[in-house]
Amino acid sequence: MMADEIDDGIEPSVPVWAVFGDLMAGLVGALALVLVAALGMQLDLAERLKTEIAQREVQTQRLQALEQALAGPLAAGRVTLDNGRIGISGSVLFAFNSADLQPEGRQLLRSLAEPLAAYLKARDEVLMVSGFTDNRQVRDGARRFTDNWELSAQRALTVTRALIDDGLPASAVFAAAFGSEQAVASNADAEGRARNRRVEMSPTPRPARTVAPPRG
């Protein structure tokens, strides 16, 4: 009787194999989650890499097309091409502190207008014409320009208008001024200042057209 009472008061213990099974199930579940996360990260990285490679291929094709369009001026050393930016020395286009095109500069722009127009049309891009100066103050006897910002702006506009006169659609080109900012060489010597006095032309994607909502 006493033995039966003692036996009835002792709860049966949980089998070891059941606890082990629960642990293994938990580990397998955690491992599965880790594998799923790792696979997701791998797929994401692969997709990013694929996108990056595609973007590089597009950029390479774009630069090759631009090089082909400007093959003549590039071979003659009249312009430079650096990562899609077409550079022209300021001394070729303008006299010092002037925004009036020199004959050599006018002829050069005339030779660039047609190939640039064809390139922009084929790729549906627009051309940004940027004017730059060195850091010396403007010394203009006629006082046409207050500072380097005005001088660089007028030079960019002069080049823009010349390209339009030579056939580049007005809707495919715009002007920008940077003054003495974004120098490509030191302004401490004459050679560096000459390099900083320049005009650059950069084909860029055409801005997305937005449709204004109808007025109620």
CATH number at residue 143: 3.30.1330.60
- Give 61 or 80, the one with higher predicted confidence: 80
Rounded distance, CA 185 to CA 38, Å?
48
Instruction: Give the orientation angle of helix 103-123 with respect to helix 16-69, to 10 degrees.
Output: 140
Is the domain of 56 the same as that of 121? no
pLDDT in tens, 131-175: 999 999 887 555 678 899 999 999 999 999 999 999 999 999 999
Here the tokens at position 60 are 């390479």
Rounded distance, CA 53 to CA 63, Å?
15
Average pLDDT score over residue span 75-99: 90
> Is position 214 within any domain?
no
Average pLDDT score over residue span 88-108: 92
Is the domain of 87 the same as that of 143? yes
Cα 193 versus chain centre, distance = 26
> Is position 188 within any domain?
yes
What is the tally of structural domains in the chain?
Answer: 2
* pLDDT of amino acid 137: 85
Domain span including residue 28: 19-69
pLDDT of 89 > 60? The answer is yes
Average pLDDT score over residue span 25-40: 78
* Average pLDDT of the chain to the nearest whole number: 83
Is the domain of 114 the same as that of 176? yes
The beta strands (E) that lie in 3-84 are given as: 80-82
> Is position 113 within any domain?
yes
Average pLDDT score over residue span 124-130: 96
Considering only 19-28, 86-95, 110-119, 158-167, which range has the smallest mean pLDDT?
19-28
* pLDDT of amino acid 128: 97
- Give 165 or 215, the one with higher predicted confidence: 165
Q: Assess contact for 128 and 82: CB atoms under 8 A.
A: no
Is the domain of 156 the same as that of 128? yes
Is the domain of 112 the same as that of 201? yes
* pLDDT of amino acid 13: 59
* pLDDT of amino acid 66: 86
3-state SS class at 30: helix
> Is position 166 within any domain?
yes
Rounded distance, CA 212 to CA 139, Å?
46
Q: Assess contact for 87 and 159: CB atoms under 8 A.
A: no
> Is position 9 within any domain?
no
